[in-house]
Amino acid sequence: MEGTYKPVRALERGIVLLAELGRRGRAAPSELARACGIDRTTTYRLLATLARQDLVLRSPSDESWSLAPGVRRLSEGLSDHDEISNVVAQEMVRLLPLVRWPSDFGTFEGGGVLIRESTHRYSPFSIHRAMVGRYRPLTRSAMGRAILAAAGAEERETMLEIAARSDAVDAADAADRRLVARLVAETQARGYGASIGGSEAAISAIALPVHAPSRATGQRRVMGAVNIIFFRSAMTIEEAAARHLESLRACVETIERRFTEAAEPALASSGTDDGAA
């Protein structure tokens, strides 16, 4: 049967692109073209075709491409983090005109906070452009502190153990439970994560955690955090919160609502109760 029909070259190339995106997580079209041996024009056409079938999605923040929720029809290769990143990117782009300062979305990974989405390239106040894929220290960044303060005790302890055994710049801080307890208490009392020069000397940030129901269990848990970063010379943490915290909170609440609504059909079909707070 295999020799009866000629292979469909375009379909083969599309599958190759999907496999490469599955391996990389996200990539620019030029990277995909080189990795797959496909010319750039054809790569753009294939991505556009796959996007119409909800199999790939372009990030509004850095124009890279990643797998989209439609891939679930074909495999189980799409993680909760991938889906959250796509939703977060859309809402962060809507947040930018309200605050003008850049934002990042990060998740805990490998002992630090991995930036998965960013609006740096669009902000008039950013000195950076390529932020996606960079790490921020768990205990010293606003995002990391927001994640730690929102996590349950058991999950927080696991994060700290991983961070303490990593080569992160704050590994010793993560191992100091008294220091961490103080940071968590301060963050919970404040109601948001904050850092002054924690990642870069001239930069401060405020951040809020993002919660979402796990598709595997239905339990609502912290999946990451969204920040607003700004120059220390421009305003204090308190001034930033007074000016922008409500806009950031509205952004996060919209993200959480969208993700909860998206998860409900899957949870209902599996019989999972997602009523946990």
Q: Which of 126, 146, 6, 72 is nearest to 80 (CA)?
A: 72
| Side-chain-side CA neighbours of residue 4 (13 Å) | 2
pLDDT of residue 21: 87
Going from N- to C-terminal start, the domains of the chain cover: 9-73, 80-270
pLDDT of residue 101: 97
Assigned token pair, 259: 């993700």
Vertex 239 angle, CA 237 and 243, to 5°: 120
Please provide the DSSP assignment of 157-218 as one string. HHHHHHHHTS--TTHHHHH-HHHHHHHHHHHHHHTSEEEESSSSTTEEEEEEEEEEE-TTT-
CA distance 184 to 136: 17
pLDDT of residue 77: 47
CA dihedral (177, 223, 137, 231) positive or negative: negative
* CATH 1.10.10.10, domain 9-73, yes or no: yes
Beta carbons of 193 and 227 less than 8 angstroms apart: yes
Q: Which of 134, 147, 152 is nearest to 226 (CA)?
A: 147
Cβ-proximal residues to 101 (8 Å cutoff; 6+ apart), any chain:
123, 125, 126, 228, 229, 230, 244
Distance of CA 28 to the CA centre of its chain: 17
pLDDT of residue 273: 45
Query: Could you say which residues of the chain have pLDDT below 50?
Result: 1, 76-78, 272-277
Distances (CA, A) of 160 to 114, 121, 134, 166: 15, 31, 19, 10
Distance of CA 42 to the CA centre of its chain: 29
Residues in the chain: 277
Beta carbons of 192 and 115 less than 8 angstroms apart: no
Domain 80-270 is classified in which CATH homologous superfamily? GAF domain (3.30.450.40)
pLDDT of residue 86: 78
pTM greater than 0.85 (yes/no): no
Distance of CA 241 to the CA centre of its chain: 22
Strand pairing partners for 212? 221
H helix intervals, the chain:
9-24, 29-36, 40-52, 80-99, 142-150, 153-164, 171-175, 177-190, 237-270
CA distance 58 to 175: 38
Q: What are phi and psi of 152, to 5 degrees?
A: -70, 160
